[in-house]
Structure 1
Amino acid sequence: MTQGYTTHFSPRFSETDGLGHINNTVIPVWFEAARDPIFKIFVPSLEISHWNLILAGFSVDFKAPTFYGSDVKVVTSISRIGNSSFEVHQKCYQNDELTAEGRTQMVHFDYETNRSQPISEGIRAELKQWLVD
């Protein structure tokens, strides 16, 4: 079991809102970018023509403001693995303070049949490396 993997972001001035905070639309974009290593488990080349995942839903809880001028750390882990779906759990930290937490439901999907498909044992084993309680 792991604590997850870490991705770092440097907030850009253009990502701030009128109150001087990082805009609430930015953190879900950072979370998506931090999911690339998970995407590579399913599609190592990241070629869209081979894509086999869909995002079924996500939620973000904002815990504290995130600001311009100080780097951000996003920690990504897996919180649940089902038959054809899994949940990604992510936390955003700035200066060691939790500023946002998100959960994303992903589905292993066959675009030709337009249906979910079971996650193979090989992929399941790779996902389990990132599984946290």
Structure 2
Amino acid sequence: MIITTVTPRFGDADGLRHINNIAISEWFEEARNPVFRFFTPDLDLSYEKWKLILARTEFDYLGEMYYGDDVEIRTYIARIGNTSFVIAHEAWQRGSLRAKGQAVTVHYDFLNKKSMPIPDDIRKKLQEHLITEDKK
């Protein structure tokens, strides 16, 4: 599991004084960077180096989050396939799970416009963070 701490910005709060739901998407994206580094260590976004494409995201909002308290984003791998994997996230604030989500990510060759098998060395790194529902 990878832990990322996010400090909500004033602009993340909405008129109801809680964190707007769009902030969760941004925080989860930020928390994916350590996983992205398995594939592209310098996070270079050039077509020659970047090897991932986002295929799907989903979010469940479980409780309100508030400005003024840090949020812990817990990131782990929920599934590893041949060419894709699922990154799972949980947002915790004040000791409670407030949101969760997943992102289906594909190992992708942008120059040839096709998915590629995940290399064994990267698969091993992903497996270090594999947590399935039955292991939670």
- Same fold per TM (> 0.5)? yes
In the other structure, the counterpart of 2:84 is: 85
In the other structure, the counterpart of 2:14 is: 17
How far is 1:94 from its partner?
0.3
* Aligned positions of 1:86-125 closer than 5 A: 86-125=85-124
Between the two proteins, the alignment pairs up a number of residues equal to 130
For 1:90 and 1:41, the matched residues in 2 are separated by 17
How far is 1:51 from its partner?
0.6
How far is 1:18 from its partner?
1.2
* Aligned positions of 1:40-55 closer than 5 A: 40-49=37-46, 50-55=49-54
How far is 1:27 from its partner?
0.5
SS in 2 for 1:28: helix
Letter of the structure 2 residue corresponding to residue 37 of structure 1: P
- Percent identity reads 42
Note the residue ranges of structure 1 that are not aligned, 5 or more in a row.
none
TM-score under structure 2 length normalisation: 0.94
Whether 2:33 is the aligned partner of 1:39: answer no
TM-score under structure 1 length normalisation: 0.96
In the other structure, the counterpart of 2:4 is: 7
- Of structures 1 and 2, the one scoring higher in RCO (CA 8 A, sep 6+) is 1
For 1:35 and 1:25, the matched residues in 2 are separated by 16
How far is 1:57 from its partner?
0.5
For 1:37 and 1:15, the matched residues in 2 are separated by 23
For 1:39 and 1:101, the matched residues in 2 are separated by 19
Letter of the structure 2 residue corresponding to residue 66 of structure 1: M
Two-structure CA RMSD over aligned residues (Å): 0.5
Note the residue ranges of structure 2 that are not aligned, 5 or more in a row.
none
In the other structure, the counterpart of 1:128 is: 127
